[in-house]
Structures are given as C-alpha cells and as structure tokens.
Amino acid sequence: MLTNGNIITMDGRESRAQAMAVENGRILRVGSNQDMADLAEAGWPVTDLEGRTVLPGFIDTHQHLGLTGQVLNGIDFQGTKSLQTVFDKVGETAQSAAPGAWVLGYTLNDFSLKEKRMPLKEELDAVCADHPVMIVHSSWHMCALNSLALEILSPPADLPGMDLKPDGEPTGVVRDPGAPDFIFPAVSSRTPEEVKLTSFRKACEAALKQGITTLHCLEGGGFGPGDTRIVHDNLDKLPVNVVLWNQVMDVDETVGMGLTRIGGCICADGAIDAYTAALFEPYCDQPGNCGTLNFTQEEMDEFVLNSHKAGLQVAVHCETDKAIEQVLSAMEKAIAAFPRDDHRHRIEHCEIPTRDQVERMGRAKILAGMQPAFIHYLVDMEDYEKRFGWDRLRWMHPYRTMLDNGVIMTGGSDCPVTPHGPLVGIQTAVLHPIKEERLTPMEAIRMFTVDAAYSAFDEANRGSIEPDKIADLVILSADPTEVPPESIREIKIVKTIVEGKPVEDPRDGPAA
C-alpha cells in the first residue's frame, strides 16, 4: 500500500486520491487512507508517501534504444561551444582506445559552436589518425568522419548528401540522405550483438531514472540494421515495458515477426538543423533550398497503403509542411480506400504543419507524435524566425491548435536527439514560446501518460492509476500542477515503480 499521498490518477475526470493498493503487479484499489484500512489490518506492507505526488509511470513514445545506447557508450558533445573542445575530447578518447576501435561522438550541434560548422576530416585526422572517427550531429541527420573512417566505410563517390571540396574530394561531412541511409547502417553493422544488447539495457536504465516505465522503441532500418530482431528476442531481459516499432518499409518482415506497428523514423524529410526538412517555400536564409523529400508521393502512398491494408499501425517522420503533406495525403488515401476507424496512425515530429494539415489530421484521427523537449534543447526562436519567417513559425509545435482540432498528441524525447526527461517536455509544453499554443500542466502530462498509452492501444493497462491496471508508477518530490511552471523540470524523481516493483537507485538530482 501507498498512503498519505497526492495521487494524480489521470483517469479523465481529474480525480485525485490519497492512497492505493497494489497486488501482483496490478492496482487493486485507489481511494483514501480509510479505504485501505482493512488491508492495513490484514498486515499489508505500507509505504507512507508523506504527501509526495504519484503519477502513472511516464511513457516516452518516440526514442531509439539502439542509438541511445550508442551515445551512452560514446563521447557526449551536448552543450559543446567550440571545435577545440571537440578535438580535445576526440584526442583524449583515442589515447585510451583499443587498437582499431572506433572513436564515436554524438549530439554535436554545429549552431551551438562559435565556428557554426561541423569538423572537417583533416582537423579530425590531426588529433586522431590511427582510429576511425565518426561524430554524429544532434539531429542524427548529419555526421563528420575522419579519413580512416571514410577509407573503411568506402562511401560511393556520388553518395547523396556527401559534402565535397571544389576538387571533388570529400570534406568528411555527410548529410541527408547519405548519413542515415549509408553511413549509420555501415557503422552499426560493425557492432557485435552482445555489445548492442548491453547498450540497450543501459539505455533502459537511464530512462527508468527519469520515471519512464514504457519506452516506444523505434529500431531497425538504416539507423540500426537488425536491431528490431535483437530487441524482439530479448524483451524479457529489458527492465521496462517496450512498445516495439519496426523502422523499415518491409511489411512482410514486420508481419512475419508478429509485430503490429511499422515505421518511426522512416524519414519522409530530413531535419530543420541540417536544412533538409522539406518545405513548400524555401528557407528564408537559403532562398534556393526547400529541403529534401526522401520519397516520391507514389512510394509513400504504396508503403502506407500496404501497411494499412495489413492492419499495421503506421508512423512516419515528417518535420515540416511539405513532408507532412506527403504522408498525411498517403494516410488519408489509405483510410478512404480501406476504412478502419481505429488505426491510430501517427505523424512523428510534425514540427511546423499548416493549420489545414492539423484540421485534416483531426478529421482523419491521425495522432501527432510530438517531442516538446526539442523546443527546450534545440530551438532558438530568433534563429528559427530567420529560417522560416513568422507566418510559418507561428505554427511551430501547435499544441493548443492540435487539441482544439481533436488531434491526440503523444510525448516523446527522440532520445538521443534530446535526453529522456518527460518533466522537461511537460514544462516546455506549458511554457511554449508561442503563448497561444501553451498547454495546462494536466494537458501536458497526458502526452506522457494516458494519451501515450492510447497511442499504443494500451490504455486498458497503462497510462492512468485505476483498479486492474498495471502498477507502473512514478513518485515525485512535488506536484507538477502546483509548482511554478518554470520549476517543473527541477522536480525530483523519488522512485520509479514497474509492475508494482520499485526500481533501485533512483536519480537523486532533478529531472534535467
């Protein structure tokens, strides 16, 4: 039993409770301390919450277990301000690396560097010539390689997205589509399965420390060939509930594995930070550039239709309006041809849609897989206005508009693009830089609990604190609906509980 608490049930009625009882991993009873009196008399163990807040365990609906594990085992460049820091860390890591081992770095944002660019191969060679080096951009749509890495991977001379010098020699920087389609799979395929499995578990443990009890794992495809099968075959070895997405366009493979969902970061376009997110009109600061569509309309139509006909739930990465239009149109056509009311298809990221697209998503019951933490970690509003102009930027992450149009939103991190941390996402949604799009704390919490469970057809088991549901819980040091919005992310994770069992060694510090 848990008693003397502030239990926010997320049951749709904004109900709160003081106490609850858990039996065999499921919630037996929710109510007042008095409602548990007979259980106390029967000798049930009691935990006094001392007024702390309890929420359903957080659900991260868009993250990559394989990529997160890689980052945890590599150099983390988040927050780096200069290329010299990059070179220092690469050189230091190379000194202790085993012969022939790759030196891998992640989460480098060139716009945060004073040089405003990625490192070049000659610069990386100067600090690390004897080990292959790959540094991945924070968007995971661009990377930088040294000469030895280029030699080992042998990308074709005409690889799309590979930056070239005037003489045709590679600079070492590779963008969309070459980075996710060629470079990342080639590096991933050189990683032994046992190393991957260890890193998967490490990623799960990092999520647990943020109060996350369910991870939507978008695996396989170019970012990690074969990783879906590894996760699928080892679900019992992972300490969280896993919702597995096969990040491929192979319907037969997905159905053959017994999976019910396909997609994730199947990238209809690229990334805003790499200027490859696809737009109807050019970037304001790059007048000749409308970004990149990675598929024809016919290819996307065929993929979505075949997946829909097979009864699969579909999710596709679309950052901006032109890509959103391609995928939304494909989904609308598939739903019209083979009506299925409860498809729960998702458009991932959906960062700058048009108002018309939001309205159509609501009518078609297409969900939006959102990552509020993008705004916290990646968005500089002044920089974004230079790229898009205010008329388009006004519709960035339009949470309130989505809710008003009946679009169910799910909350994710896209970890390792941004760290696991639902409280950061909740705070960001509440303090949206465009005031008209702000959510209330309860609305933001729904993205990471009950609506997230709904997006996986799991609302009967998870997402709220109600009798008979699985006892996935997070105990917080304060109430996110009562503290000043600016301090939501400072709330501490006191304890994470998975299927009624407390996770040991919770994070002592704030959520981010």
62 belongs to a structural domain: no
Domain holding 167: CATH number?
3.10.310.70
Is there a contact between 292 and 269 (Cβ–Cβ < 8 Å)?
yes
Tell me, yes or no, whether 130 and 277 share the same domain. no
Tell me, yes or no, whether 33 and 121 share the same domain. no
Tell me, yes or no, whether 160 and 222 share the same domain. no
What share of the chain has pLDDT > 90, as a percent?
Answer: 89
Q: What pTM, to 2 d.p., does this model score?
A: 0.89
d(CA 349, CA 371) in angstroms, rounded, equals 6
199 belongs to a structural domain: yes
Between vectors from CA 43 to CA 41 and to CA 47, what angle results, nearest 5°?
100
Tell me, yes or no, whether 38 and 171 share the same domain. no
Give the torsion through C-alpha atoms of 194, 199, 204, 206, to 10 deg. 150
Tell me, yes or no, whether 44 and 156 share the same domain. no
133 belongs to a structural domain: yes
Tell me, yes or no, whether 43 and 154 share the same domain. no
Tell me, yes or no, whether 347 and 205 share the same domain. yes
227 belongs to a structural domain: yes
Strand order in the sheet with 47-48: 26-31, 19-23, 2-3, 47-48
Tell me, yes or no, whether 334 and 401 share the same domain. yes
Which of 104, 94, 144, 101 has the alpha carbon at shortest distance from 123? 144
- Render pLDDT for 427-439 as a digit per residue (tens, 0 to 9): 999 999 999 999 9
512 belongs to a structural domain: no
Structure tokens given for 105: 């770095």
Tell me, yes or no, whether 83 and 156 share the same domain. yes
510 belongs to a structural domain: no
Per DSSP, the residues of 277-305 read: S--SS-BTTBTT----B-S-HHHHHHHHH
Structure tokens given for 463: 């997402």
352 belongs to a structural domain: yes
Name residue 182's amino acid: F
Tell me, yes or no, whether 19 and 106 share the same domain. no
Tell me, yes or no, whether 323 and 434 share the same domain. yes
User: What pLDDT was estimated at residue 37?
Assistant: 96
3-class secondary structure per residue, 299-314: HHHHHHHHHHHCCCEE
Which of 364, 375, 389, 391 has the alpha carbon at shortest distance from 426? 375
**Res. 506 pLDDT band, cuts 50 70 90:** very low
Number of domains forming the structure of the chain: 3
d(CA 236, CA 132) in angstroms, rounded, equals 34
Q: Is 195 a residue whose pLDDT tops 90?
A: no
Average of per-residue pLDDT across 48-59: 98
Tell me, yes or no, whether 131 and 160 share the same domain. yes
Domain containing 124 equals 79-137+142-175
**Res. 109 pLDDT band, cuts 50 70 90:** very high
Give Cα 247 to chain centroid, integer Å: 13
- Render pLDDT for 60-79 as a digit per residue (tens, 0 to 9): 999 999 989 888 888 999 89
User: What pLDDT was estimated at residue 505?
Assistant: 57
Structure tokens given for 253: 């493979």
